[in-house]
Structures are given as C-alpha cells and as structure tokens.
Chains A and B, each alone.
Chain A
Amino acid sequence: MTLTWKSAVALMLTLSATFHVAAAQHEAARPAERGVINFLTPILPDPVLQHSKETYVLYGCAYCHGVDLRVRNGEAADLLHSPLVRADVDGGVISHVLRVGIPQTAKLSPMPQFSDLSDRELADIARWIHYSKGQGHFAELMQDRDVVVGDISAGKAYFEKSCSMCHSPASIASAIKVVKDADLKAFIIRPAFLQSTPSFDVSRRTEKAVTGRAKHGTLLENYTSAEVADLLAFIKTIK
C-alpha cells in the first residue's frame, strides 16, 4: 500500500483520537512495574537493528512509546496497534510524521516534529518501529489459544494470494516435514531467517533473499489471528 503525503496526514489526523483510546486501553493492561529498565539490552546480534534501536531511544521515542512499543505515557500513540504504522511499508509514512509532528491534536501535548533528523536517522527509527512491532505482534499471536478453528479453504485462498508467488505447496510441505505440529505456527509466521543477522556477502544478497525478508517482516507485523488459523489449517493438509 502506498500513501501520498496528503493522505498520510489525513490518516494521521483521523486516527489521532483512536490512538488516544487505544493507548489508554493498552496502558490499563500493563502490570505495575518494579525495578529498572535497560533500554539497550538485550544487545541484538544484528548491529544495524541495534543501531536503529539506539537511535529510537536517543531521540526520546522510547520515553513515550516504549522501546518495545508498549506505551509508557498514556497520551502516546500505541504504535504496536497503530493503523498508521500498518499503512507504512517503506518507512515513508513514519518519516513524514516524524518530520512534521502532529501539532493539531486534542491531547495535552502534541507529538513534536523531528525535522532536523537526517534521512538515515528517520529510516533507523522507522526500521526499529517495524521490527519491534513484528516482535510484539508475534508474541500476541503466539499467546492466542487457537480457539479459532481455521478454515482450510480460506487458508488456501490466503496462501494463493500472499504466499504462492514465492512458495509452492510442495516446497512448503518439504520445508515443514521435520517441524513438530506444536512449532508449526511459529515456523510459519516468523521463519528463522527473520531472526538471523542479514549477510552483506553480495553473493548471498539476492533479490529473492532481500525481498523475502522484507515481505515476511510485513506479514509478521500484520497477520490477523484468523488469517494465521486459516493458513495453519491449510498447511497442515499439505504436510
């Protein structure tokens, strides 16, 4: 999905009130915290991601939005469930919001603008938000008790729409034959390579590898529980 700047701003303003409610609900679900937070640990094996996290912390994003996107300030937008982050594919929407801020708001304190940051810094912040959203969403999906029984035909349709351009059912069957059923969900929604440090060996940086990582990252951020249930139901039929 690609947004123009104008539509991004319109979306941003429309969703402002929604963020507030979502943030309050999210905050209400947080247990009392005791002890000290270390924003920098665990140190990630991927230095690019670690640098992105440090940029996110250094410019104060973590103070309000939380380093793990769990809101620390009740007024802040809940980035883990933000439609705006969901609408962002390449960092363009997030970078634009950072550049202009959200001065028009019903909240006490508007989101400030970060117009003096470099393109690289803005991209780093967007990268961390997407990575952290993927991790947070993965945890939420794994906490689902799978009470929803997946629909095999809906899963097949999802597979054909979102997976078949890269994977055939046979290749999936081959890949998952050694995976235990209990581990299948995690294997499908967060393939192991998403957790590995990307190589800068040019012979391994094929277009397929780069786009595959990006696409699975986007899928991980945005799967719904129903989609996961349907997809799993279908994939179990081809195992």
Chain B
Amino acid sequence: MILDRRTFGKSALGAAAGVALSNTIASPFAFAMAAPPRPNSIVNGVKIGLQPFCYHDLPQSDQNRSILIQRLVQNGLSFVELHATWVEPTFQLPGVTAEAAREKQRQWRLTTPPSFYESVKKEFDDAGITIFTYYVGFTMATPAGEIDAVYEAARLLGAQGAIGSYGLAVAQKLVPFPAKHNIFTGLHNHDNLSDPDAFSTEETFEKGLAMSPNFKATLDVRHFTAANGDCLKFLEKHHERVSSVHLGDRRKNNGRSTPFGEGDAPIIEILRMIRDNQWPMIALLEFEHGTLRSGVDEVQIVLDYCKRALA
C-alpha cells in the first residue's frame, strides 16, 4: 500500500488515537486528582512545542498570557517559544507615536526587575510548560544595553535561547551576548532571496553559524522550503548546530502557507529524522495557513498530524 501525504492523515488515525489515549492514562490515578493534567508533548522521544502565534484568534499581548497558558494545557503542549509580546506591556497605544512607544519599551526593558520575569516563568512552570526560547526582534539601532537586558530576561524566564528575525549584520552584533548569559542565540530564516543580509539559504546559515559557537540554527522549514531549500539535507549536514525546527508547510517558489501535508515541506520525514537519530532539537509547530476553525482546534489538528508521523 502506497500512502501519499494526504491519505497519510486518515490512515494513521488509529495510531493518533492510541497516542492520545496513552497520554491520558499516563497515571492510573489521574481521575482521582483535582489538579488539571500536566501537558506532555514528548512523542516517542521528540519534543514538540508551539510558537503560539499559531493561535491566530488570540492577539499576542501580556493581557492574554493567561489564556495562552490555558490553551497550551488544553492542547497538551509542554514546550513553548515565547514571543516578547506575551511578556512585555503594550506601549503602542492610540495617540502614542511609534518612536515614543519604542523609547518606553526600551526603558521598560532596562528597568524591569528580575522578579517580574521570575513570576512569568512561574506561571508557565505551574502549568507544566517549559519556555524553550524567548523570541525578540533586534535591529542595528538596538543599543547593546537593551540587548543585554533582553538576554538576561530570556535567562530569567528559563529559556535555553533567545531568537528573533534579523539578518547577518544584526547577528554579528549579538555575538557577545549568549555566552555572557549562558544561553544560545537562535538564527531564524525567512525566504527572502533578494536580500543578501537575510537568513534564507544554507549558505547564509553557514555564514551566521560561523560567527559564534553559541549561535544555533532555528530552521524554519516552511520558509526554507519556500526558498527552494532542501530541509532534509540541511539537517543531515548541520543537525549538531540546529536547536529547533519551526515546523509547518509551504509551497516552493515563495509559495503560500498550506495546512500540514498540502505543501512541499517534508514534515513527516523531518520528524522521523529527529526521532530516529535521537537528536535533541525541538520541533516547534508554527503555521500561517488560514483556518475557519478555532486556534485550539487547528493547533490540535497539526499536533495530531505530528503524533501520527511519530507513531
């Protein structure tokens, strides 16, 4: 029987049910406990987490953080890549210029005490969720002091790394910071092939990784595929420098985002490669395809797709 990637989902439904059931009955006494179930998204040794903007219907703000945590628990996800917008107050308010909002943000980052980040970490800890990475964007204009404060914030949150979307020039500026805070810097690609500064191809990743042993690749398989890159060859060659994959689907040639299994990204193969080689890298679900379902339902569908791939 030959399975294509569309029929794969249906045929493996039973396997998915098995995985879900095994999670539910992990403790024979779970039914008697009042506490909500602890999420566990390690599937056959592969850690699966979420870039939570996948909850497209949940605006990213610190005010929605409690809902985010509830949703992660609901989906059974125990790892998250936390964008700073879930942590920091919103400074861009009506009547406030972008420049003024940015200055307020800078001052907030420089003056916020460690206890604030520790309390945020505790919110996730209490729910059984590990903050794997802290996602913050930097530019060439970001002062070194502010970068230092953000890296310290990442460490206080318990993150193993700080990642963001920027190019080679900004990455060079970040070289001193990960070692100082004992975390890594994650280099994240998009599919911009027209900008030589952008992370988009194997070549640009190699340039970035050569800057520091504390730099690791966050391979976004959607964008790498859209940039006509070969994700499997990249992982074969560079897996020791890959901290995580952003796992989702897109079509080649700057093609659109698609539901899992309808694009050109080899999602199943990537997951199995991680599993079969026992690589420590984490698979972070991240998608931009639209849906008429709720965010929780759509995340569950892609998570179940991954569980079936790993069954």
- Listed in ascending order, the chain A residues whose CB lies under 8 Å from chain B are 24-25, 27-40, 54, 56-64, 72, 101, 103-110, 112-116
Contacts and interface: CB of A to CB of B under 8 A. Distances in A.
Interface string B154-191: 00000000000111000000000000000000000011
Given A59-B256, A60-B289, A112-B255, 9 more contacts: A36-B57, A37-B56, A39-B57, A39-B292, A63-B288, A104-B194, A108-B198, A109-B192, A112-B250
Contacts of B250: 112
A71 to B, nearest CB: 12
A54 B94 contact: no
23 contacts: A28-B96, A31-B94, A32-B89, A32-B90, A33-B59, A34-B64, A37-B56, A38-B57, A39-B56, A39-B57, A56-B290, A57-B290, A59-B290, A63-B290, A103-B193, A103-B194, A108-B165, A108-B190, A110-B190, A110-B191, A112-B226, A112-B250, A113-B255
A32 B61 contact: yes
A56 B292 CA distance: 10
B212 interface: no
A40 B256 contact: no
Interface residues of B, number: 42
B230 to A, nearest CB: 19
B215 to A, nearest CB: 18
Interface string B65-95: 0010000000000000000000001101110
Given A57-B290, A63-B288, A32 B93 contact: yes
A113 B64 contact: no
A34 B290 contact: no
DSSP class of A's interface residues: helix, strand, loop or mixed? loop
Given A105-B194, A110-B192, A28 B98 contact: yes
Given A34-B63, A36-B57, A109 B290 contact: no
A57 B291 CA distance: 6
A37 B254 CA distance: 28
A109 B251 contact: no
B51 interface: no
Given A57-B292, A60-B289, A112 B257 contact: yes
Nearest to B63: A34
Contacts of B67: 35-36
